Amino acid sequence: MSHRQLRFKYQQLLEPNAQPLGVSILKLVHYLKNGSVRVGVVHKDHISDLIETAKALDITPLREVTTIDQVLSAGLLDSLVGTHRKITTYATDFPIESVILRSPILNPEKILLVARNYLSHNVEQNATPPSEPYFFTKFRNALIGPNDPILIPKISSKADWEAELAVIIGKVGKNIPRKDAMEYVAGYAVSNDISFRDLQFSTRSDNAAVALGSNWVKGKGLDSSFPLGPCLATRDEITNPHNLDISLTVNGETRQHSNTHEMIFKLDALIEYVSAGMTLKPGDIISTGTPEGVAAFTDQKFLKDGDVVEAKISGIGALRNTIRRE
């Protein structure tokens, strides 16, 4: 791929947005260098390599960090935030369009997702909003990054999209009270909850006294069904995560457009709820639901081979992936 093509792919990926943000938002990415994954610190349309910059500037705690996962698990995010200005003014950097980006989290212990957490998504399926959060899970096999292909498996013909705000957990916590919940957030990313509706809403039944309901694991947890990216945008710089524009296009046509203020259960409530009896760990992901506009409940066509899907959240960036039939 030429640099011009890469520039087209990445030039809008990490643009700042006129939303309520801090002075200089810290964005971390994973990128490939000589076949290895490295951590990059984004500033404008350039990246500084974290290890090389930390060595040059003698920032000792960050000199051996090879992944964002390690930054979080070692409790080094605060150190990184504190040295952000030094790193972004360091001269040795390179254009973001010259590299291949990967998912900003590589090996989460848990991927947790919330169903029907936007009012409009309940309305479009003629459903009563839930009285408490409804969580389901995906697994490591589902996680892909920017520009990685989303595979439609041989067993499905109804692949759907769901643009979502993903919360990345920054420290260990259990039974977290709502008033303290945001202290456990490292930052945010864009996610796309790819769903295979013919599998999720299967009519298979064993006629048992208690209905099993929809098949969430099969319909949601297949390979490449959870794109995440393009970066981890730190919590400190997004002053109000409940006032961010969220949208999704397919081949440039808008399919979803809303704002995170539409969430029924806000981030602090979700963290309090899911951490009750469950230990959250650094790098865990909570994907917080999607607004109206998915194919399953509209007259829009499901995804097909060759489609380009782009989910975007203001202040964070755009997550672009191409659909491939398996």
Percent helix, strand and coil across the chain, each rounded to 5?
A: 25, 30, 45
HSE (side-chain half, CA atoms, 13 Å) at 30? 23
Q: Report pLDDT for 91.
A: 52
Q: Are residues 275 and 169 in the same domain?
A: yes
pTM exceeding 0.75? yes
Q: Are residues 7 and 77 in the same domain?
A: yes
Domain boundary among 102, 125, 160: 102
Q: Report pLDDT for 211.
A: 74
pLDDT averaged per 10 residues, the chain (length 326): 39 42 71 92 87 86 92 92 75 81 98 98 95 98 98 97 98 98 98 97 74 89 98 91 98 98 98 98 98 96 98 97 97
Q: Are residues 98 and 64 in the same domain?
A: yes
Cα–Cα distance, 222 to 138 (Å, whole number): 8
Hunting for tokens 């040795």 — which residue is that? 92
Joined tokens for residue 205: 């039944």
Q: Are residues 120 and 172 in the same domain?
A: yes
DSSP H helical segments within 93-210, as ranges? Answer: 119-124, 197-200
Q: Are residues 116 and 235 in the same domain?
A: yes
Residue 135: give its domain's CATH number. 3.90.850.10
Cα–Cα distance, 167 to 266 (Å, whole number): 11
Q: Report pLDDT for 202.
A: 80
Q: Structural domain of residue 283, as residue ranges?
A: 111-325
**Number of domains the chain is built from:** 2
CA dihedral 120, 121, 125, 129 (to 10 degrees): -80
Q: Report pLDDT for 85.
A: 72
Q: Are residues 175 and 225 in the same domain?
A: yes
Domain boundary among 55, 79, 102: 102
Q: Are residues 158 and 211 in the same domain?
A: yes
Q: How far is CA 68 from CA 96, 149, 150, 169, in A?
A: 17, 22, 23, 12
Q: Report pLDDT for 21.
A: 37
Q: Report pLDDT for 89.
A: 67
Q: Are residues 130 and 267 in the same domain?
A: yes
Q: Checking phi first, is residue 17 left (phi over 0); if not, alpha (psi -120 to 50) or beta? A: beta
Q: Report pLDDT for 6.
A: 37
Determine how β-strand 185-192 pairs with β-strand 163-169.
antiparallel
Cα–Cα distance, 11 to 191 (Å, whole number): 19
Q: Are residues 85 and 163 in the same domain?
A: no
Tell me, what amino acid is at 52?
A: E
Q: Are residues 219 and 283 in the same domain?
A: yes
Q: Report pLDDT for 30.
A: 98
Cα–Cα distance, 221 to 214 (Å, whole number): 13
Determine how β-strand 317-325 pairs with β-strand 195-196.
unpaired
Q: Are residues 184 and 39 in the same domain?
A: no
Q: Are residues 125 and 265 in the same domain?
A: yes
Q: Report pLDDT for 249.
A: 98
